[in-house]
Structure 1
Amino acid sequence: MDDPVSSWVFPGAEYRRVRHSGLMGAFTDATLAEGSGGYVDLLEDDSAVALWMEVPDAPHADDEDGPAQVREAVDPDNARIEEIARLLDEAHPQGRAHTYLWMIGVAPERQGEGLGTALMTPVLDRCDRAGRPAYLEASSARSRALYERLGFTVMNRPLQLPDGPTMWPMWREPQGG
């Protein structure tokens, strides 16, 4: 909830506290929807979670209404929900199958303990064995540094949210021999 992008989408601590969980619920529902190719990794003590999607090589069908539907379901008066969904969709690479880390979160009191790395490493190992690249958007300089340590590189140019923080689309080619 304290992520710079979450703070931009839901300005104000109380507003974010009330509305943020609705967006996370929508992300989880989309991840687990039939045919999505998505899955959730959760640490045994519920201190960290990652939402992953298996993206096919075919270009995805444009869902013009998807961002608007998420906004309507989560917070109809918040245009930033729809805006960020559209910006991230435009930045997302197409034409090559990959594993997408849609969202990762670690309980604030547990951050810095390596839990994000613990969630990501098995998936990245599977990607390496399968020869499959991975993609994500870093939402802070701190997360960008973590992802760089895990072999991700910044693609093209950063994504600057209007009057908000920077995000970094990142790609990781399969590693190893």
Structure 2
Amino acid sequence: MIRPAGSCSQIQYLTFFPEFVRLYGGRAFDHGGAHVIAGHGGAALWLPPDVHPDDEALDHLIERGVAPAAKPEVLAVLAAMASYHPEEPHWFLPLIGIDPRQQGQGHGMALMTYGLQACDRDGRAAHLDSSHPDNVPFYERFGFELLTTIEIGGHPPMYPMRRRAR
């Protein structure tokens, strides 16, 4: 996830983040990978094998929405994240979120379990990029392994993780 940093104002973030979500994970809706908790408690967008974020449109969004001084760093972070994606077809979890008022009620566990059932049914690996270190142990409980910590400039660290095929 791209978070506001340094020269990126909160207004820019709020303006461009909905489009980022659509471009990064929105194809999940067309491919059966969008899962929502009843009552809008949370959602997960899983991209099945051979379905990818809209990279060309994301490049245009970065061009319009990221301050010129921050672009090299953002692009370097994204390139580093991409370098850890498996080469073989895999399920990708670009986005998952739980309403903070509903955290701790098992919604994240339900979304992960449901999404990983498709991975296991297909016998495919799964990949995600965590944007917060506190979430790493949560994903590890589902069999994800931390690959590295990506730390570039002043951008918040990213944590690429992979779950082997089962």
* Class of the TM-score when normalised by the shorter of the 2 chains: 0.7 to 0.9
1:114–1:41 distance in 2 versus 1, CA, 3 Å: same
Residue 88 (1) aligns with residue 81 (2): yes
Equivalent residue for 1:164, pick from 155, 160, 165: 155
**Alignment partner, residue 136 of structure 1:** 128
Identify unmatched segments of 5+ residues in structure 1: none
Contact conserved, 2:35 with 2:44, CA < 8 A, in 1? yes
Identify unmatched segments of 5+ residues in structure 2: none
Contact conserved, 2:26 with 2:45, CA < 8 A, in 1? no
1:82–1:24 distance in 2 versus 1, CA, 3 Å: farther
Shifted more, 122-131 versus 145-154: the winner is: 122-131
Deviation at 1:127, TM superposition (A): 1.3
Residue 41 (1) aligns with residue 35 (2): yes
Shifted more, 81-90 versus 136-145: the winner is: 81-90
1:67–1:19 distance in 2 versus 1, CA, 3 Å: same
**Alignment partner, residue 50 of structure 1:** 44
SS of 2:124's equivalent in the other structure is coil
The amino acid across from 1:172 in the alignment is R
Q: How does 1:11-90 map to 2 (within 5 A)?
A: 11=5, 15-16=9-10, 19-20=13-14, 22-33=16-27, 37=31, 39-56=33-50, 67-73=58-64, 75-77=65-67, 79=71, 81-90=74-83
Shifted more, 25-34 versus 103-112: the winner is: 25-34
Q: Which has the higher contact order (CA 8 A, sep 6+)?
A: 2
Q: Distance in 1 between matches of 2:11 and 2:140?
A: 30
Q: TM-score, normalised to structure 2's length?
A: 0.77
Q: TM-score, normalised to structure 1's length?
A: 0.73
SS of 1:166's equivalent in the other structure is coil
Residue 146 (1) aligns with residue 131 (2): no
SS of 1:50's equivalent in the other structure is strand
Question: Alignment identity in percent?
Answer: 26
Contact conserved, 2:33 with 2:45, CA < 8 A, in 1? yes
